Amino acid sequence: MGSLARQALLNTALTYVGIALGFVNVVLLYPKVLSSEEFGLTRLLVSMVVMAAQIAQLGADNTINRYFPYFRDPARAHRGFLSMLLLFGVAVGLLAMLVLSVLHPWLSQVFSDRSALYARYGLLVLPLVFSEIFFLLLRSYSRSLRRTVQPTFIREFLLRVLQTLLIAWQAWRPMPFGSFIVVYASLFLICTLVLVYDLYLAGHWKPGWTGRWLPARMRRSMVAYGGFTLSASLAGIVLGNMDQLMIGALLGDGLKYVAHYAVAFYFGSVIAAPGRAIAQAALPHVADAWKRRDDNALRSMYLRSANMQTFISGTLFVLLLGNVDDLFLLLPAEYAGGAMIAVVIGSAYFLNASVGLSTSIISMSRSYRVDAWSSMVMLVINAVGNYFLILAYGIAGAAWATLISLVVVNGYRTYFLWRRHGLWPFDRVTAILVLGLTGSSIVVSWLPLAFGPLIDIMFRCFMVLLLILPLAHRFGLLKEGIALISNLRIDHR
């Protein structure tokens, strides 16, 4: 757990620095510098690229994490693993670009609005999806080499910094939107190249084509695993992205509503960051634990991750509940209706965080098919729910579809791990944490503040931490965090 803990802590720290930059971008800059339609287009392009790249890479990101231990051999350039990965990336990347280029006229009609922005700039998805496929594959390769911090730094920190600089420049010296969106897209390409350069500097950019090793039996197993885990990989990113695509397609002036939903979703999805950071660091360790059949290690990672995520994500959820109205006062008036959406999304991700590493444990086990079909169920529930609820309730319906799909599927996954493997993420500490979080939320909601949004937000944050931190200290969560910090070492290899 030492290496896992240090990397999880670094990933969490980088993620939250990125979230702070994201707050500057999404709340303070984008809505005020760009029109809602222009801002909505940036969100729509990113959602399309993320979903298309996940489909195109055919579950390879999880396949890399699960099977790389069998290829690990530094003396032989890991038996040509990187060369096979690059060849696969080129093939599926070109295919994805071809499909999206053929679909462009149809997509331009689906996402049409008064500004016709997608019709003019939608082809930017072609280089973006090619770049994103390689980033996903190389990120998984880097994580399999126990280099989980570097990809997180590039995607969560470097990309946000570059975006902040770009939107700040746009506010200072406005350029035509066509030039802005091209530069915006190029930032994603730059980050993929930075990841390549990082692997090269670390001595891991060694394709080794002549020494490749992939027995037929292994190949069949990897193809089957990738196929089964494709839906799981897609489910991990579909929430929020599918919502925005369907909002853009189903509602009139869809790009404007995509922008409104993206801001509300951002506030709620902050709660997901701790679980994402821990899962990024944990995947290689979970895969190794299953390979060793080390039930005690799995049980420890499962319970400790669930309690830590309940504490961190629960605290963030309480902060969101107490401050949501003031947060939306910082935005232009047209975004004000998103407060309830942020709370619903926050509820969904808090419940998702509370079950710890359940998804990672299933996906790395021999029961990965359960993860695959349960993820497919999540996709179906989310898509059907989005269609009917968006038509009935507008963008609020998308938030409820996300909550419903997460609760149903995570409830089943938790039950499955308990019945099949005897793994359970909750204990006495979990119950006490939930009671403490509930009490803190009630106390903070009674505070009659009227000093202005920023001052009220800061005071409520102080009060929540004052109430929650002693409880965390009582059950060793703070002690564990301090121990992690004291043992923190950054690997410079």
| Cα–Cα nearest to 348, from 382, 302, 305 | 382
pLDDT tens digit string along 302-321?
888 888 888 888 888 998 98
Task: Locate all alpha helices (DSSP H) within 293-365, ordered by sequence.
Answer: 295-329, 339-353, 358-363
pLDDT, one tens digit per residue, over 315-359 is: 889 989 888 888 888 888 888 778 889 999 999 999 988 888 888
Q: Tell me whether residue 177 is in a domain.
A: yes
Using only C-alpha atoms, the chain has a radius of gyration, in whole angstroms, of: 22
Answer yes or no: is 431 within a domain.
yes
User: What's the rounded Cα separation, in Å, for the pair 68 and 251?
Assistant: 44
Tell me phi and psi for residue 306, to 5 degrees: -65, -45
Residue 5 has which token pair? 């803990």
Check pLDDT > 80 for residue 220: no
Residue-wise pLDDT for 266-288, tens only, equals 877 788 877 776 776 677 778 77
CA proximity to 227, closest of 54, 59, 55: 59
For 383, how many CA atoms within 13 A lie in the half-sphere containing its CB? 9
Count CB neighbours of 95 within 10 A: 12
In a domain, 493, yes or no: no
Which own/partner contact pairs does 305-308 have at CB distance under 8 Å and 24+ positions apart?
305/275, 305/278, 305/356, 305/357, 305/425, 306/354, 306/355, 306/356, 306/357, 306/425, 306/426, 306/430, 307/356, 307/427, 307/429, 307/430, 307/433, 307/475, 307/477, 308/274, 308/278, 308/477, 308/480
Residue labelled with tokens 């920190």: 157
Give the per-residue pLDDT at 458: 85
In a domain, 491, yes or no: no
Q: What is the pTM of this model?
A: 0.77
Q: Does residue 33 sit within a domain?
A: yes
* Average pLDDT of span 236-245: 77
In terms of residue numbers, what domain contains 185? 2-210+217-486
Q: Side-chain half-sphere of 249: how many Cα atoms within 13 Å?
A: 16
Does a structural domain hold residue 21? yes
pLDDT band at 473 (very low <50, low <70, confident <90, very high): confident
Dist. CA 101–CA 107, nearest whole Å: 10
Phi and psi, residue 282, nearest 5°: -85, -25
Q: How many domains does the chain have?
A: 1
In a domain, 338, yes or no: yes
55-70: per-residue pLDDT in tens? Answer: 888 778 778 877 777 7
What is residue 344's predicted lDDT score, i.e. its pLDDT? Answer: 93
Q: Considering the chain, what is the average pLDDT of its residues?
A: 81
Alpha-carbon distance of 447 to 233, in angstroms, equals: 42
Average pLDDT over residues 146-155: 81
| 8 A C-beta contact, residue 382 and residue 401 | yes
Reported as a single tens digit per residue, the pLDDT across 68-119 is 777 766 656 666 778 888 888 999 999 999 999 999 998 888 887 666 788 8
In a domain, 492, yes or no: no
